[in-house]
């Protein structure tokens, strides 16, 4: 059947020149930030063994992995994220590197799942992993890196929500919830279903400060005052440690002058099996989904046999591009600075080639006419393509503006 010949599969897309240029610019600004802050870039393969993601508790939902078989019948999976391959590396080829490891990547990822809108099946993520450091310093470093990267990419107006999953895990234990109750409760908090939460609080018999703490979790945002408020309500040591950890992180962000875009949100409770401490999501105008997400994952590297408390984030480059576009900064059209033609004969051609080399060495983009156009023809061509400058080399070796 050839009916699909002209189409790309669901969830993937061609990136046209203007967008592609903008994308490479963004990626390169982000890379520079990562490098400047000491994160070394790694490149992991586009294909992994399925087992990499299927270890232990499962580091990715199997429904979301693109799977193939190799010639030996082993299951392969397309790269699903940046963190798990980095964890595999940290525990294998990089096992002799002393912690902390500072790694970064900018790569396309592949995920099944409902396509449509901006949820693509192939999308580029740029992220860092700081492995082998459990301190609030590490989490704050990662958060500062994320914010610097967003700014470098041209995003000015964004907000970063920081949570701490250990806060809820402490409550879960202190209240003696069953796994089912805890699961339901975390989903209700995360989707801010206040009515259902009140019913649930009654059902599990929460009173006084406990009830108050639960009902405030979804709606309390802010800075230190959120921590103060919760410290007054919550007594169990795990949750209190979580609050102290967040306070430490906030203090470092404050010292770095990065507190203004940050807001504490203890009601963010995603992927509780994966994350172990601080979690982060970043938002901006013009796009209904987070553009940044990450957190502390102390139990992931150990799936590969090395214990490294780790933290990191990834930025959705495609989402970032959509946001920038909708915020009124469309990509600049890609066009050369100069269109360069030459008259007949080798002398003119040599002059043109020399001139082009010199101009390109100065960083200008020069497209050379390959159709033997006359000066008039060159001007028409340049006009049609929006190229601002036209040059023409003559047989006597001069290169003139045409």
Partner 1 sequence: MDRSYLTLALSKGRLADQALELLEAAGIDCRAARVESRRLILEDPDAKLRFIMAKPADVPTYVEYGAADLGVVGKDTLLEEGRQLYEVLNLGFGACRLCVCGPEALQGRLDRIPNKRVATKYPRVARDFFELKKRESVEIIRLNGSVELAPLVGLAEVIVDIVESGRTLKENGLAVLETIAPVSARMVVNRVSMKMKADRIAPLLAAVRAELEVRRSRTEERRHDR
Q: How far apart are CA 182 and CA 186, in angstroms?
A: 6
Under the binding rule (CB under 8 A), the answer on residue 193 touching partner 1 is: yes
For partner 1, the binding residues in 50-79 under the rule CB under 8 A are: none
117 is an interface residue for partner 1 by CB under 8 A: yes
394 touching partner 1, by CB under 8 A? no
Of the two residues 198 and 241, which places its CB atom closer to partner 1 in the complex?
Answer: 198
Q: Which one of 28, 92, 156, 191 is in contact with partner 1 (CB under 8 A)?
A: 191
Q: Does 235 bind partner 1 (CB under 8 A)?
A: no
Q: Of 29 and 161, which CB lies nearer to partner 1 in the complex structure? A: 161
Q: Segment 324-363, which members bind partner 1 (CB under 8 A)?
A: 326-328
Tokens of 137: 């310093």
| 287 makes contact with partner 1 (CB under 8 A) | yes
Terminal-residue alpha carbon distance, the chain: 51
Binding mask 148-177 for partner 1 (x = CB under 8 A): -----------x-x----------------
CB closer to partner 1 out of 224 and 334: 224
Give the angle subtended at the CA of 42 by the CAs of 38 and 45, to the nearest 5°: 165
Q: Which helix (H) or strand (E) holds 128?
A: strand 122-131
Select 140 or 324, whichever has its Cβ closest to partner 1: 324
Question: Residue 135, interface with partner 1 (CB under 8 A)?
Answer: no
261 Cα distance to chain centroid: 17
Question: What is the per-residue DSSP string for 332-401?
Answer: PPP--SEEEEE-SSHHHHHHHHHHHHHHHHTT--EEEP-S---HHHHHHHHHHHT--EEEEE-TTS-EEE
Residue 283: Cβ within 10 Å count: 17
- Quick check: 371 binds partner 1 (CB under 8 A)? no
How many Å apart are CA 213 and CA 191, to the nearest integer?
A: 16
Q: Which residues bind partner 1 (CB under 8 A)?
A: 117-118, 159, 161, 191-195, 221, 263, 265, 283-290, 326-328
């Amino acid at each position: 059947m050839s009916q699909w010949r002209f189409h790309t599969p669901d969830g993937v897309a061609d990136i046209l020149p203007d967008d592609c240029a903008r994308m490479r610019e963004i990626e390169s600004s982000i890379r520079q930030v990562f490098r400047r802050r000491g994160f070394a870039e790694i490149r992991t393969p586009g294909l992994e063994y399925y087992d990499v993601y299927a270890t232990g508790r499962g580091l990715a939902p199997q429904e979301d992995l693109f799977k193939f078989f190799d010639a030996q019948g082993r299951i392969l999976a397309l790269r699903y994220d940046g963190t798990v391959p980095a964890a595999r590396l940290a525990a294998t080829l990089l096992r002799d590197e002393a912690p902390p490891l500072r790694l970064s990547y900018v790569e396309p990822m592949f995920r099944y799942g409902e396509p449509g809108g901006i949820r693509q099946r192939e999308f580029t993520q740029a992220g860092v992993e700081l492995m082998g450091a459990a301190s609030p310093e590490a989490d704050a470093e990662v958060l500062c890196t994320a914010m610097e990267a967003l700014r470098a990419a041209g995003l000015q107006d964004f907000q970063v929500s920081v949570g701490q999953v250990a806060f809820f895990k402490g409550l879960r234990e202190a209240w003696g919830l069953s796994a089912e109750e805890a699961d339901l409760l975390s989903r209700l908090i995360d989707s801010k279903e206040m009515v259902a939460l009140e019913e649930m609080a009654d059902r599990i018999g929460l009173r006084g400060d406990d009830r108050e703490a639960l009902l405030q979790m979804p709606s309390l945002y802010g800075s230190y005052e959120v921590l103060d408020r919760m410290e007054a309500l919550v007594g169990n040591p795990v949750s209190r440690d979580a609050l102290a950890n967040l306070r430490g992180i906030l203090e470092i962000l404050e010292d770095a002058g990065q507190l203004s875009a940050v807001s504490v949100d203890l009601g963010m409770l995603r992927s509780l099996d994966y994350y172990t401490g601080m979690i982060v999501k970043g938002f901006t105008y013009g796009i209904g989904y987070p553009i940044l997400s990450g957190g502390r994952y102390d139990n992931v590297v150990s799936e590969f046999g090395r214990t490294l408390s780790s933290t990191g984030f990834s930025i959705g480059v495609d989402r970032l591009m959509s946001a920038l576009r909708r915020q009124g900064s469309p990509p600049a059209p890609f066009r050369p600075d100069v269109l360069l033609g030459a008259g007949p004969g080798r002398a003119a051609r040599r002059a043109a080639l020399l001139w082009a080399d010199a101009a390109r060495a100065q960083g200008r983009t020069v497209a050379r006419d390959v159709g033997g156009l006359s000066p008039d023809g060159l001007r028409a061509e340049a006009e049609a393509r929006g190229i601002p400058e036209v040059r023409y080399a003559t047989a006597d070796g001069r290169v003139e503006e045409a």
